[in-house]
Amino acid sequence: MAVYKRTYSSYTGPLSSPRFRFLVLPRYSYQHLFANRFLTGFLVACFFFPLGCAAYIYFVNNLSVFSSLGLSIPDFLKIDSSFFRFFMNFQGGLAYLLSALIGPTLIAPDLANNALPAYFSRPFSRAEYILGKISVLFILLSLITWIPGVLLFFFQVSQAGPGWLSSNWFILRAILLGFWAWILLLSLLAVALSAWVKWKIVAGALILGVFGIGAGLASAINSILRTEFGSIVDLSRIMYTIWSDQLNIDPANGIEPPEAWLAFFAVCFFCLFLLNRKIRPREIVR
Amino acid sequence: MTNSATPVIQLDQLSVQLGGRPILHQLAVSLQGRTIGLLGPNGAGKSTLINTLLGFYAPASGTARVFGHDIHKDTRFVRSLVGFMPENDSFIAGMSAVSYIRMMGELSGLPPATALERAHESLFYVGLGEARYRKLGTYSLGMKQLAKLAQAIVHGPKLIILDEPTNGLDPPARLRMLRMIREMRDNAGMHVVLCSHLLRDVEDTCEEVVILNNGRIVHYADLQAERRANKRFVEMETVGDAEGFATALESLGATCAQLAPGRWKMVLPPHFSFEHVFRAAAERDLELRRLNYRTDTLEDIFLKAISQ
């Protein structure tokens, strides 16, 4: 029978698993996001650099000209932790831009028309809601960060052999841990700022600006107090230190890795605190 | 599981505080009707009670149960039994109605294909079938009310809580909304909690009424029982000397009260014939100018309860 000829009836059929119900939110978000051509184009462009890196890895591992001349391969043509740090910096930057584009569209539209009571009057918790919104970014950013990173790593292993793997396994750990930390930070920041600012453009600017403001503030503190502890408020410095530490590279200056991790968790908890204050079905006016 | 003997809503000394301020005080009532009206003046605590039943606010003391399930301990299960139509706007402006309602169905646990089918059905049911692919942001106020109703019923709840469902509706749309509420009650087997300040709406649809004032239950009325009891009121206007008129009618079992000179209100006993009234008036040469036969309205009950 056609749908329009039916009348209302109660539902007694099977229900979906509550464990993965939060994944409903990313599915609907992607429908909306991929309707935007610019965003789709930007996402596609984010894959060009990993493809270039793959070509570079192939090129470096297949240089016969140096060996035929009896020369060793120059240092700048080696695939090591510096190469992967450059890859992480570049793709991490793209992930940052992508989160600034997507972040404002996540929670702000729900708040603009007071949709939260409709969400939370269902068997769907606040934690699931936040997890669902974060997973929108987590899945997309994973596609352009750690997934191509891991693929490049194993491509290098396939080209250079198991000897390279035994001496560079920590790079895999650095790619996974470093990018997961970065995605978590970006996702939490984007979702928290989207929850507090209803206007999409302002929320996007704030996501972009929070890194610039942090860097400026850190620089001011370091100059005035003649210290390097000011870098603890510079989010990009925090992540750079964590990545460098994971890749066994000296970050040159700034804060120590334990301090960077501490600052990282402090920012994450602050974002969760902001979300906990804002994501409520009803606002209590004191 | 629920059975017919389980109260739909049971409040046991329920108190709620918001921002350190007591809003609901020691509410205690057991409601079993198919349609329950929640009445009260602005700020009486109706919306707070609804939000507490949905688990949005935690009780400061006492408990509330929906179909026998504690709203604080079994929040998730209670929410799976309930559909909620909020008073204010509650939608995502950039989504089409069918997409939004499908998403809400999926969040309630419906499989994606079923959610889509039921989203279409719900929208046709509330009368938005032709506008279901339009974005919700483009809907008129009345259409938004209907879309809110559709999202509340998409998952087939056992209890639907409607917060001011007729707000912003024109008279035909209001009548249609009330008809749908009655249909859901009678044909779909749903229980309905209707929160409204429009007494007529509640009177037209509800079996039980709870009147709140200043966060307290000031009156509970079983409208079904009252209708069955059928207390008969007569309002009269007379011209002439009415001495002994009231005594004559009271001797026949009626209760008489003179509201003003020449204005009377009587409560008639069952099987009372109006012939006695006309005879008593004729014997005293009393002119009957007006005689209104009516039952006690919800407005009378409400005003009496609020003035207490």
pLDDT tens-digit readout, B77-90? 999 999 999 988 88
Q: Give the model's pLDDT for residue B188.
A: 77
Interchain contact, A21 vs B106, CB within 8 Å: yes
Cα gap B41→B218, rounded to integer Å: 12
| pLDDT of A104 above 80 | yes
Q: How many CB atoms lie within 10 A of CB B224?
A: 14
Query: Rounded mean pLDDT of A114-120?
Result: 92
As a whole number, the mean pLDDT across chain A is 89
- Residue B293 DSSP label: E
Q: Model pTM?
A: 0.83
Distance of residue B13 Cα from the nearest chain A Cα, in angstroms: 22
Q: Which of A164-173, A209-218, A235-244, B294-303 has the lowest mean pLDDT?
A: B294-303
Q: How far off is chain B from A13, nearest CA to CA, in Å?
A: 8
> Average pLDDT in the A104-132 region?
91
Nearest to A11 among B90, B155, B184 (CB): B155
Question: Which of B107, B118, B121 to probe by mutation at the A interface, max A CB count within 10 Å?
Answer: B107
Residue B267 burial by Cβ neighbours in a 10 Å radius (0-12, 13-18, 19+): middle
Domains B9-227 and B230-307 share a fold: no
Partner-chain residue, chosen from B20, B84, B90, that has the shortest CB–CB distance to A113: B90
What is the structure's pLDDT at A284?
59
> Confidence band (pLDDT; 50, 70, 90) for A254?
confident
Residue with the bigger pLDDT between A142 and B273: it is: A142
Q: What is the pLDDT of residue B36?
A: 93
Of B233, B240, B224, B222, which Cα lies nearest the Cα of B287? B240
Phi, psi of B70, rounded to the nearest 5 degrees: -65, 125
The CATH homologous superfamily for domain B9-227 is P-loop containing nucleotide triphosphate hydrolases (3.40.50.300)
Q: What are the domain boundaries of chain B?
A: 9-227, 230-307
pLDDT digits (tens, 9 = 90+) for B5-53: 789 999 999 999 988 889 999 999 999 888 999 998 888 899 899 999 9
Residues B9, B53 contacting (CB under 8 angstroms): yes
Report DSSP letters for chain A, one per residue. --GGG-------S----GGGGGGHHHHHHHHHHTT-HHHHHHHHHTTHHHHHHHHHHHHHTT-HHHHHTT-PPPGGG--SHHHHHHHHHHHHHHHHHHHHHHGGGTSHHHHHTT-HHHHHTSS--HHHHHHHHHHHHHHHHHHHTHHHHHHHHHHHHHHH-HHHHHHHHHHHHHHHHHHHHHHHHHHHHHHHHHHH--SHHHHHHHHHHHHHHHHHHHHHHHHHHT-SGGGGG-HHHHHHHHHHHHTT----SS--HHHHHHHHHHHHHHHHHHHHHH--SSPPP-
What tokens does B61 get? 């003391």
What span, in angstroms and rounded, lies between the C-alpha atoms of B228 and B239? 34
Residue A196 in this model has a pLDDT that exceeds 60: yes
Does the beta-carbon distance from B125 to A282 stay under 8 Å? no
Subunit contact B156:A6, Cβ cutoff 8 A? no
Please answer whether residues B38 and B210 qualify as being in contact, where contact means their C-beta atoms are separated by less than 8 angstroms.
yes
Q: Find chain B residues with C-beta within 8 A of A32's C-beta.
A: 94-95
Provide ipTM, 2 decimals. Answer: 0.85
Is the model's pLDDT at A257 over the cut of 60? yes
Residue numbers of chain B with a pLDDT score lower than 50:
1-2
Share of residues in chain A with pLDDT > 90 (%): 55
Specify the fold of B230-307. Alpha-Beta Plaits (3.30.70)
Distance separating alpha carbons of residues B128 and B120, to the nearest angstrom: 9
| Tens digit of each residue's pLDDT (9 = 90 or more) over A58-95 | 988 887 777 777 777 777 778 889 999 999 999 999 99
Confidence of residue A1 (pLDDT cuts 50, 70, 90): low
Question: Beta partners for B24?
Answer: B16
Residue B1: what pLDDT? 46
Closest to B116 measured CA to CA, from B130, B133, B131: B133
Mean pLDDT of chain B, nearest integer = 87
Of B84, B86, B94, the CB nearest to A109: B94
Residues of chain A contacting B155 with CB distance shorter than 8 Å: 11, 122
